[in-house]
Chain A
Amino acid sequence: MNKYNFAFFDEQSKREIRRALLKAVAIPGYQVPFASREMPIARGWGTGGLQVMLAIVGKKDVIKVIDQGSDDSVNAVSIRKFIQQMTGVLETAETSEASIVQSRHRVPEVPLTGEQILILQVPIPEPLRETEQSELRAKRLHAEKEYSGVWLSLFEQIMKYGCTATGADHPTMVHERYVMSPSPIPRYDNRRLNDCAALILFGAGREKKIYALPPYTKVESLAFVDRPFVSESMHGKICRLCGAEGVFLDESVQAAGAGPFYECNDTGYCRQRQSSKSRLDRGEQSGD
C-alpha cells in the first residue's frame, strides 16, 4: 500500500540527519547545520521537527504530536497523520504512553522520563539573530562565547517595558557554554528543560539547523542579577474543565462582560485528568 520507504526518507537521508543529531547531542546547545529536505509541508510549518522525527522513529515507537499543547490542531493532526501513514506506528494523545513526542512550542505537562524523546520545532534557532544578522559573524560569536547581543536585547526590553518581555523563546545558557533558543515555548516551560530526564531534540527546517539537550543538562534562563527570571504567573487560576492548578493555562474571554476563564493549554493532560476524575466519580457512586 505504501510506495514510500519506511518513514518517507531514503536511508541515506535518515543517516545524514542522525549524524547531525549525534553531533548535536555531543555538544549540548550547539547548532549543527544539516541538509534540510524539501518536505510535503511548507517550510516554517514544522519541517525541522518532522525531519528529526522521521530520522529517528522506529517500528515499535508510539508517537504523540502536539501544537501549542493541543493534540487536535490542524498542524498537529496533519503531521501526525503523515508520520502515521509513512511508518504505520501507533499514535497516542497521552504523554506517558508516547516514546517520541513532537511538539510545537510546548513541553508537555506530564514530566518526561528517560525512556522518552521530545522533539521541538524551531522557527529561529539563532538567539543572536536580533543583534547580529550575519550568520558567519554569529558563528564566531558563539565560538568565542560572546553573548553581549543577547543580553543587550534583554536589557533593551527592560528599558522599553520595565521587564524582560520575551513572551516565548526566552534565551537560555546551556551547560554554561552555549546560549540557545529554547524554541518559542512559554517561559513557564524554560525551567522544565533544566535537568530534564528525557532527550530533547530541536529541529529548524527552514534555517537548516539541529541542536539538542541530552538528559539532565543544565539549562539556565538568562537574567540580570537585579532582575531575576520570572515565568508566567498562573497564581490563583484554575482550569475550568479539570480543576488543575499551577499548570500552564490558556485564557479565554467570555461574551458580554463575564470574566475570563482558563483551560489547560495541554489538552492531552487535561483530558486525562477529566477521565480519571469521572472514573473516580463513578467509582464513588457505585460504592454508595
Chain B
Amino acid sequence: METNEGAVLSLQNFRKQFGSGCEKCADLDERHLQRNYCPNCRTTYACADVSLELYGGEILGVVGESGSGKSTLLRCLYFDEEASSGEAFLQGYKSGQVNIFTETGQQKRYIRNYHLGMVYQNPYMGLRMSFSSIGNIAEKLIAAGGRSVDEMTGRATSLLHKVDIPPYRFLETPATFSGGMQQRVQIAKALSNNPPILLLDEITTGLDLSVQAKVLDLIKGIQRELSISMIVVSHDLAVIRMLAERTIVMLDGKIVEQGLTDQVLEDPQHPYTQKLVQSLL
C-alpha cells in the first residue's frame, strides 16, 4: 500500500465493530443502519471505515459527540482494543510498509513503547495509582528496555520538572495528587520515550478552567519544542480551536467533515457540524 508523502501516520478504511455483522450491514449502507447500529444483527459500528493522515509536527483535532467513535479510534491506534479491519502505517516503523494492525502482540507492544504515547481522559487508565510518580514514568522506560536505575530516574525527574510537579512529590503516588497533577504525570509518562506520535483523549475534561489552561499550555509548548505529532480528541471546541491546526468531525463512526480548524469552525458544511458550532456558548 502506498502511503502519503510526509504522513507520519496513515490510516485507511479503519473499522471497529462490536458484533459479527450480517449481509445487510456489511457494506455499511445507511438504509439498513440506525445511525451506527444494525437492528438485524445487533452490531455496532464504532468506527466505520475511517481514513486519515497525520503529518509531522501537526496537531490533528477530532471532534464529535459522545459515542461518535473518537475514543475507540485512539484506543485501537494504541492497541488497547483490536481493530476489526483496515490498515495503519507508521512512517517510523518498518518505513511505513507494514500494516501495524496485523503485527504480532510483541511487535504491537514494541510500537506502543517506542512510537506512541497515550494520555487518557481518566488518569486511572494511564497510571498505576499505587506506584510512585517516578516509577510510573520508569514503567514505560523499562518496557522499552531500560535497565539502569540512575538513567531512568534522571529522565523521569527531568520530565516531572518539565510538567511542573514539585520535586518533593516525585516519590509520592499519583493517587494522592489532584486531577490536574495526575494528568500532567500522565503526559510526562507519555513523553518518556520521545515518541513521534502522541494520542490525547479528552485530556482536559473534568479539570477546572485554570488547570485546563495549564495543561493546554503544556501541550502547546511540547509541540513547539519537540515537534511531536498529536491527535487530540475532544468534544470541547475551545480546546480544538486552541490546539489543532486541522480538524476532523466524526458522527456515528464516520468522518463527516474535515479541514483546517478555522475553516471548519467558521464555515461548517455538514448539518451536524453546523449544529455543533451553533451550540457553542
A residues near B (Cβ < 8 Å) are: 131, 140, 144-146, 148, 151-152, 155-156, 158-160, 224-227
Contact = CB atoms under 8 A, between A and B. Distances in A.
A144 B106 contact: yes
Contacts of A158: 149
B10 to A, nearest CB: 27
A227 B135 contact: no
A156 B131 CA distance: 7
B152 A155 contact: yes
Q: What secondary structure prevails in chain B residues at the interface with A? A: helix
B84 interface: no
A145 to B, nearest CB: 8
B134 A148 contact: no
B231 to A, nearest CB: 25
Contact of B171 (A140, A151, A160, A227): A160
B148 interface: yes
Contact of B150 (A148, A151, A152, A226): A226
B190 to A, nearest CB: 16
A155 B105 contact: no
A152 B132 CA distance: 10
A155 B106 contact: no
6 contacts: A144-B105, A151-B142, A152-B138, A155-B142, A224-B148, A226-B150
Contacts of A140: 105
Contacts of B224: none
A110 B66 CA distance: 67
B109 interface: yes
Nearest to A164: B149
Interface in B86-141: 105-106, 109, 128, 131-132, 134-135, 138-139
Contact of B109 (A146, A156, A159): A146
B148 A156 contact: no
B132 A225 contact: no
Contact of A156 (B105, B135, B143, B150): B135
A65 B135 CA distance: 41
B162 interface: no
Given A155-B138, A159-B171, 19 more contacts: A131-B128, A146-B106, A146-B109, A148-B142, A148-B143, A152-B128, A152-B138, A155-B135, A155-B152, A156-B131, A156-B132, A158-B149, A159-B132, A159-B134, A160-B132, A224-B147, A224-B149, A225-B147, A226-B150
A160 B148 CA distance: 16
B184 to A, nearest CB: 19
A152 B189 CA distance: 14
Contacts of A152: 128, 131, 135, 138-139, 142
Contacts, number: 46
A224 B142 CA distance: 10
B149 A155 contact: yes
B148 A225 contact: yes
A60 B85 CA distance: 62
A226 B106 contact: no
Contact of B149 (A144, A145, A146, A227): A227
Contacts of B148: 224-226
Contacts of B142: 148, 151-152, 155
Contacts of A160: 132, 171
A227 B153 CA distance: 13
A2 B151 CA distance: 64
A133 to B, nearest CB: 12
A226 B149 CA distance: 6
B146 to A, nearest CB: 8
Nearest to A227: B149
Interface in B171-205: 171
Interface in B147-172: 147-153, 171
Nearest to B133: A159
Nearest to A149: B139
A220 to B, nearest CB: 13
Nearest to A147: B142
A158 B142 CA distance: 14
Given A224-B147, A225-B148, A159 B135 contact: yes
Nearest to B170: A159
Contacts of A227: 149
Contacts of B143: 146, 148
A226 B151 CA distance: 9
A-B residue pairs, 8 tightest by C-beta = A148-B143, A156-B135, A151-B142, A224-B149, A148-B142, A144-B106, A152-B139, A159-B132
B107 to A, nearest CB: 10
A148 B139 contact: yes
Contacts of A159: 132, 134-135, 153, 171
A152 B151 CA distance: 14
A157 to B, nearest CB: 10
B136 to A, nearest CB: 9
Interface string B200-231: 00000000000000000000000000000000
B144 to A, nearest CB: 9
Among A155, A224, A227: residue with most chain B CB under 10 A: A155
